[in-house]
Amino acid sequence: MLHMTSIVHKLALTACTLAALAGCGSSPVYKDEAFSQESPYQLTTTQGPQQACEAAQFALLSQGYRVERSEGLTMHFQKHFQPDEDTNATIDFFISCKPRGSGATVFANAVETTYELKKTSGSTGFSVAGAGSITMPWSKGADSLVKVAGITIADNRFYQRFFDLLGTYLR
C-alpha cells in the first residue's frame, strides 16, 4: 500500500510541474500595453459631457444596442449576434463622458465575447442489490453556451465609425 501511495504522490508532483511549466510558456499581456497618447478610444468635442453622452446614447440605440446600465456620465450598452448556428457573440460597449476645458471627451471601449454551444449527453444507470449495475437506454442531453473568447476591440475603424455617427447627433 505504501508503494501505491508513493506512485500517486509522484504522479501528482509531475502533474503540478507540467502545469507550472505550461504557464511559463506564455508571456503576460500587460508587457505589450503601450499607453500611447494616440488612442482610438476617445473623442474630444466642444459640447458638454451631458450632451456628448446623450449623443453617444442616441448613436448606440440607433444601431440596436440596448442600455444595460446608465449612471450619469457612464453607460453600458450590449448587442447580441449569432454568426452561425452554434456560435453566439455579444458586444459590450462602455461609454464615459468627462469634462475637458469648455467641452468634453467621450471615452468608448467595446468588448466582444464569443460563446459556443456545447452539447453533452449521458445515459441513466442504476444498481440493483444482487443483480449488479444496469444501464437503461434513456438518455439525457444538455446544451449550454460556453464562453470561448473575450477581447477588447482595438480596431481604429470600428471606433471611428462610432464617433462619426456620434458626431451626427452632436450637430
2 falls within a domain: no
pLDDT score for 133: 64
Whose CA is closest to 88, among 151, 155, 154, 146?
Answer: 146
Whole domain around residue 47: which residue ranges?
A: 37-126+141-170
CA angle 76-77-82, nearest 5°?
140
Whose CA is closest to 124, among 141, 108, 112?
Answer: 141
41 falls within a domain: yes
Over residues 159-169, the pLDDT tens digits come to 999 999 999 99
119 falls within a domain: yes
13 falls within a domain: no
Q: What is the CATH number of the domain that holds 51?
A: 3.30.310
- The average pLDDT across 100-118 equals 97
pLDDT score for 34: 86
73 in Cβ contact with 19 (< 8 Å): no
Domain count, the chain: 1
pLDDT score for 31: 87
pLDDT score for 68: 98
State the Cα–Cα distance between residues 150 and 142, nearest whole angstrom. Answer: 24
Over residues 10-30, the pLDDT tens digits come to 545 455 454 444 455 678 888
154 falls within a domain: yes
12 falls within a domain: no
Burial group, residue 87, by CB count within 10 angstroms (0-12, 13-18, 19+): middle
Over residues 129-167, the pLDDT tens digits come to 666 665 555 566 678 899 999 999 999 999 999 999 999
Over residues 33-85, the pLDDT tens digits come to 888 888 999 999 999 999 999 999 999 999 999 999 999 999 999 999 999 99
166 falls within a domain: yes
49 falls within a domain: yes
CB under 8 Å to 158, separation ≥6 — which residues? 40, 110
Q: Which residue has the cell 508532483?
A: 13
Over residues 89-105, the pLDDT tens digits come to 999 999 999 999 999 99
pLDDT score for 29: 83
